[in-house]
């Protein structure tokens, strides 16, 4: 197993920091690449430049996140989804071309979260609030569905049944998975966060392991898999080691987000990984058991005293914690 971080924008100072704290690789948002927000796809040159930039710091480019306005229409069933899908396919092909030498290519991180595309207010994570709930006033994410009371009945996309959501997901994956398979680029889908069954008129599909099972079976392919967020599974009340075993035995875990919480939907709070309801040692052991060789990435960083907006201190603490667990387990 390897340890990655989320660089967000791939800035050189962040990559140097990742190298210094012992990360093996880092991810980036596609939107941080020149021209992406205008074109809504990456070129081969975009990917090659990123690969070379990360390599200067002895880092692998681990994942490229798709998001924002460039892929929202396909999920909400709005006009323009075919153009979006075409652009996603261009991005996948560009990654394949940039890694045609056989080196491990970054996963394409896909979010199918309705809460991303129909939020009310500035937050990508509706219902979340950062509060000083940790020891000494550490600022951590908290979630309470009561905060959404005034917006749950809004229906900007109309009434959308779960089967309609699945129909839209199928339309998308039936077109992108064959391209990913052709160029050998893995697609890693993130579950719904928060894992609410219903939000603003839309019945969400990926709120737990049953939805993820259906997703990977929808278009069977060794290139259609998961970004398994351990925090999301814990929020949903899942037996996380069992979830890891199920998908890991089927080679469907392509990327892992590593965080812990106390509580489940409709109310929970994030904590330091050793303090939560989830057993993070057992989770790493389960990943080891299924032979997972990919990246484990700390997620949702803490607000520590004196830290920066990018949360350098938190990232360093989390990478060190994961490295210590791995060493103790002989990984």
Q: What is the DSSP string of 216-275?
A: HHHS--TTEEEEEEHHHHHHTT--HHHHHHHHHTTT-EEEEEE-EEEEETTEEEEE-TTT
Q: pLDDT class for 67, splitting at 50, 70, 90?
A: confident
Q: Is the pLDDT of residue 299 over 80?
A: yes
Domain extent for 167: 2-119+160-260+278-328
Which residues, listed in sequence order, are joined to residue 257 by a DSSP beta bridge?
229, 297
Q: Estimate to the nearest angstrom the gap between the alpha carbon of 104 and the chain centroid.
A: 19
pLDDT at residue number 10: 96
**pLDDT at residue 124 in the model:** 54
Please report, for the domain that includes residue 90, its CATH number: 3.20.20.150
DSSP per position, 164-180: HHHHHHHHHHHHHHHHH
Whether residue 121 is predicted with pLDDT greater than 70 in this model: the reply is no
Residue 284, domain member (yes or no): yes
Query: Residue 70 has what pLDDT?
Result: 87
145 in any annotated domain: no
| Residue 153 maps to a domain | no
Has residue 122 got a pLDDT over 60?
no
Average pLDDT, integer, range 297-310:
95
Q: Is 70 within the bounds of a domain?
A: yes
The three state secondary structure string of 191-213 is CCCCCCCEECCEECCCCCHHHHH
Express each pLDDT in 82-105 by its tens digit.
999 999 999 999 999 999 999 999
Tell whether 78 is covered by a domain: yes
- The answer on pLDDT for 74 being more than 90 is no
Do the domain assignments include residue 136? no
Is the pLDDT assigned to residue 114 strictly greater than 70? no
pLDDT tens, 140-169? 999 998 888 777 677 777 788 999 999 999
Confidence tier at 269 by pLDDT (50, 70, 90): very high
Least confident among 121-130, 168-177, 224-233, 248-257: 121-130
Q: Residue 306: inside a domain, yes or no?
A: yes
Is 143 part of any domain?
no
The structural domain count of the chain equals: 1
The answer to whether residue 11 scores a pLDDT higher than 50 is yes
């Amino acid at each position: 197993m390897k340890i990655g971080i989320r660089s967000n924008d791939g800035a050189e100072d962040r990559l140097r920091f990742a190298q210094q704290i012992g990360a093996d690789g880092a991810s980036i948002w596609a939107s941080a690449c020149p021209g992406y927000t205008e074109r809504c796809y990456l070129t081969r040159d975009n990917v090659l430049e990123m690969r070379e930039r990360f390599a200067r710091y002895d880092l692998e480019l681990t994942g490229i996140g798709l998001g924002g306005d460039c892929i929202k229409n396909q999920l909400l069933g709005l006009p323009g989804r075919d153009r979006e899908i075409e652009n996603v396919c261009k991005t996948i092909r560009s990654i394949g071309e940039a890694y045609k030498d056989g080196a491990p290519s970054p996963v394409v991180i896909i979010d199918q979260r309705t809460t991303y595309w129909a939020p009310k207010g500035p937050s990508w994570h509706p219902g979340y609030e950062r509060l000083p709930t940790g020891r000494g006033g550490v600022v951590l994410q908290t979630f309470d569905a009561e905060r959404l009371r005034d917006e749950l009945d809004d229906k900007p996309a109309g009434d959308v049944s779960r089967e309609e959501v699945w129909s839209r997901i199928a339309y998308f994956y039936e077109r992108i998975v064959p391209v990913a398979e052709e160029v050998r680029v893995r697609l890693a889908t993130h579950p719904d966060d928060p894992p609410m069954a219903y939000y603003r008129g839309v019945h969400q599909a990926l709120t737990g392991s049953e939805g993820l099972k259906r997703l990977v079976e929808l278009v069977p392919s060794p290139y259609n898999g998961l970004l398994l967020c351990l925090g999301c599974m814990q929020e949903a009340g899942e037996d996380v080691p069992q979830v890891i075993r199920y998908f890991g035995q089927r080679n469907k875990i392509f990327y892992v987000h590593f965080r812990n919480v106390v509580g489940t939907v409709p109310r929970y709070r994030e904590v330091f990984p050793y303090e939560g309801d989830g057993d993070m040692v057992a989770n790493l052991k389960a990943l080891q058991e299924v032979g997972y060789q990919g990246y484990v990435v700390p997620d949702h960083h803490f607000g520590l005293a004196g830290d920066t907006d990018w949360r350098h201190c938190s990232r360093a603490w989390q990478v060190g914690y994961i490295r210590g667990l791995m060493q103790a387990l002989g990984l």
